[in-house]
Structure 1
Amino acid sequence: MQLTNRTLDELAPGDSAELRRLVTQDDLYVFAASSGNYNPMHLSDSDLDGNGESERVAPGMFVASLISAVLGTQLPGAGTLYRRQVLDFHQRAHAGEELLCRVQVREKLGDGHVRLATTVRRLSDDALILSGEAEVLPPPTKISLQQVEVPGLIVQRHRHFEALLARARPLPALPTAVVCPDDANSLGGALLAAREGIITPILIGRAEAIRKAAAEAGEDLSGIELIDVPGSEEAASALACRLVLEGRVAAVMKGHLHTDDLLKPMLDKATGLRVGRRFTHVFVMDVPGQPEPVMVTDAAINIAPDLPTKVDICQNAIDLALSLGMEPRVGVLSAVETVNPAIQSSIDAALLSKMADRGQIRGGQVEGPLAMDNAVDMGAARTKGLRGGVAGRANILVVPGLDAGNMLAKQLAFISHAEGAGLVLGARVPVILNSRSDSAMSRLASCAVAALHNARGAT
């Protein structure tokens, strides 16, 4: 941004400047965080008038701050200081509306100050939002700055999961066997998804422990089916498999048990849930600042996948992406973006890319090998001379092995503040797989992802 100001001598009555600004929901969150004004009228999840829509009213002082932006950057510009501002509000601005802020010099006062008329209008209908008057002290010296840099901001809001939940709520509640939900987190996540209308849970496990967890969490189990399985955790998972085969449930959700104990009965050839492909795990990550969800696979089941397993990893992830309305762009990761015979993951990546070209992997674009930077950053991809529809734009990241996948997913969660929804694919029904440390949003989003995937499979 280049800033050139105007001193008192350069100003004359009638001089004007203006600024256009699209008000976004993120603007309102940033203003709430910086000002401490948490009035729910200004936040996306409020519906104080009960009409079914969030108000998303832009705070009056946020709208007024546009005037300060014009005064401080254009007229008079850099170095300007406020003396007084009069504000009259006529209508309300909302997130999603584009505003036009205009200031005009009225007169130069005898004490070196300048009086300006100030207005903010909504561009769509020219409605007057704000009018008023400012008195400022113009900059005493001429300033011309070629570039002004301020730190970038990323709003830690999970809009992609909010969108998935909005799509999942109208669907019929997904009958879900919840295995061993005998702690507050796993039980609370299942009950939250039930209250949101995403799933209809059937709780399976030691009934006494589940009721105790509910009591400690202040949860009410009235109207929720609870099947007592006093034996091992594997026995509870085996019962969940039987409910799937009987058609009573269309998903399985992990409770407070180890992943191996949950999945072992599902792998039984006679009574399990295998349908041909290998079981693979996908993290659907909502990363603040990214334009769409990012999938990381496999980060929980296949430790050192060979090429046939990676084919299933790719295909399962593509199928899930299609269920979520995404355009699947699979970046197969390695340490390098060229094939190196000494790096097995680069060879596998090249083979997967060619297999997709030949139709052995269907439904999405597959490209590799790609390093992490040129998989997700267009600038890095162009620097390396990479072209095509995936490099720089990958939304499915296939990792070389479980170590890399687990590290990548946790880096996104704990450093980049992402939320992750976990799902096991390749079984007869989606298996909702959450960690004990997962937030309520992660558990709820996992259920929404499972419901959307199930709905696509049922059509």
Structure 2
Amino acid sequence: MEAKHEKYHRLIEYCRSIPATPTAVVHPCDRSSLEGAVEAAKIGLIAPVLVGPKARIEELARTAGIDIAPYPMIDVPYSEAAAIAAVQLVREGKVEALMKGSLHTDELMAAVVRRDSGLRTSRRVSHCFVMDVPGHAEALIITDAAVNIAPTLEEKADILQNAIDLAHALHVTEVRVAILSAMETVNPKVPSTVEAAALCKMVDRKQITGAVVDGPLALDNAINLEAARIKQIASPVAGRANVLLVPDLEAGNMLAKSLSFLAGADAAGIVLGARVPIILTSRADSILTRLASCAVAALVAKARRDNAKAVG
């Protein structure tokens, strides 16, 4: 296992050298979410504030043998209230990240995107998987496979910029984005190819910055140099992409789960575009994946602090 996910281990090890990120853990009422948060705290990735029904969390910790004594807790009666309380902690400047516990993603995101009391910015909220694929040299960022169902061109521009910013926070030296479709030529009958071409022109015009972007590209010629050579695609991205922008949520979800269940990949999940990074985990996630998600959020939070200092 150590060798299998060496990219995650490197990421986690690096994050142990930076201060722990104050993080509201929202409704950690099952073993995996509570254990993941405590493990991340033990190795210095996050400084958790547990937000949820106090008696229930304490009983869970007791029966599971998890020591939660070192961590502050905010007692709220149910999951929706926990999401609202966690968002308020961000607005008060007390935490710099949110971590999903055992509540539904929709409940957490509803509190995040509320117009009056949420954590909206001018940027569209979107999700990224940072995938550690065995045998693949670099981590792959896949977006958006969890939040935006059928994004418009305008929304895709934000999704793309969020992913580029994430890659920079993760210290990717050259960000190479492939805008995926079923083919690598523009076909008016396939809207995702037309939108891919438009996004590339937006990059040319500096409406989207920070990466080398190409598309449309099919998956094979996005990540395999030989496939790109056979198709005679001359591009700095083709065959070498480290960020994959998918046409819609269905395509992204199938791609990410194919890599997980057929190629043995792990998928750390994070939501971007809100005031703070949001760690989205699945009940099926291993402890390593949960730790990697916390490490990704820690680097995003650090990048935001550094940017704020630079602007200030």
TM-score interval, normalised by the smaller of the two chains? over 0.9
The Cα of 1:354 is off from its aligned counterpart by 1.2
Aligned equivalent of 1:403:
250
Q: Which residue of 1 aligns with 2:310?
A: none
The match for 2:43 among 173, 190, 196 is: 196
User: What is the TM-score normalised by the length of structure 1?
Assistant: 0.65
The code of the aligned residue for 2:27 comes to C
Residue 262 (str. 1) matches residue 104 (str. 2): no
SS in 1 for 2:185: coil
* Aligned match of 2:213: 366
Question: What is the match of residue 166 of structure 2?
Answer: 320
1:295 to 124, 141, 144: 141
1:298-356 deviations in Å (ceiling 9; x for gaps):
01000001101100110000000001111211100000000011101111111111111
Higher radius of gyration, 1 or 2: 1
The letter for the 1-side match of 2:94 is R
d(CA) in 2 for partners of 1:163 and 1:456?
A: 18
**Structure 1 Cα separation of the partners of residues 183 and 303 of structure 2:** 36
The 5 A counterparts of 1:26-425 are 157-230=4-77, 232-326=78-172, 327-425=174-272
CA deviations 1:65-115 (Å, max 9, x no partner) are: xxxxxxxxxxxxxxxxxxxxxxxxxxxxxxxxxxxxxxxxxxxxxxxxxxx
Rounded Cα–Cα distance in structure 1 between residues aligned with 2:75 and 2:303? 32
The SS at the match of 2:263 is: coil
C-alpha distance in 1 between matches for 2:139 and 2:126: 18
Q: Is 1:184–1:216's contact at 8 Å kept on the other side of the alignment?
A: no
How many pairs were matched up? Answer: 305
Q: Secondary structure at the match of 1:264?
A: helix
Amino acid at match of 2:49: I
Shift of 1:223: 1.5
Structure 1 or 2: more strand by fraction? 1
Q: Tell me the percent identity.
A: 53
Residue 216 of structure 1 and its aligned partner are, at CA, apart by: 2.5
SS across alignment from 1:162: helix
Spell out structure 1 runs of 4+ moving beyond 3 A.
none
Q: Give 3-state SS (helix, strand or coil) of 1:341's partner.
A: coil
Per-residue Cα deviation, 1:155-203 (whole angstroms, up to 9, x for no partner): x611111111111001111000000000000011100100010000000
Contact 1:238/1:265 (8 A) holds in 2: yes
2:288 to 417, 441, 448: 441
1:157 & 1:318 partners in 2: Cα distance?
26
Q: Deviations over 1:27-81 (max 9, x none)?
A: xx9xxxxxxxxxxxxxx7xxxxxxxxxxxxxxxxxxxxxxxxxxxxxxxxxxxxx
In the alignment, residue 372 of structure 1 is paired with which amino acid? L
Cα distance in structure 1, aligned partners of 2:178 and 2:58: 45
Compare relative contact order (CA 8 Å, sep 6+) and give the higher one, 1 or 2.
Answer: 2
Q: Distance in 2 between matches of 1:169 and 1:400?
A: 35
Segments of 5+ residues of structure 1 without an aligned counterpart are 1-28, 30-43, 45-155
> 2: CA distance between counterparts of 1:304 and 1:367?
20
* CA positional deviation for 1:213: 1.9
Name the one with the larger helix percent.
2
CA distances 1:114-143 after superposition (whole Å, capped 9, x unpaired): xxxxxxxxxxxxxxxxxxxxxxxxxxxxxx
Q: For residue 294 of structure 1, what is the amino acid of its counterpart?
A: L
- 3-state SS in 1 of match to 2:285: coil
| CA distance in 2: counterparts of 1:216 and 1:297, whole angstroms | 38
Per the alignment, in what secondary structure is the counterpart of residue 368 of structure 1?
A: strand
2:158 counterpart letter in structure 1: D
Distance (whole Å) between structure 1 residues aligned to residue 133 and residue 26 of structure 2:
29
Q: How far apart are 1:206 and its partner, in Å?
A: 1.1
How far apart, in 2, do the equivalents of 1:213 and 1:339 lie?
Answer: 54
Q: Which amino acid aligns with 1:377?
A: N
Structure 2 residues without counterparts, runs of 5 or longer: 307-312
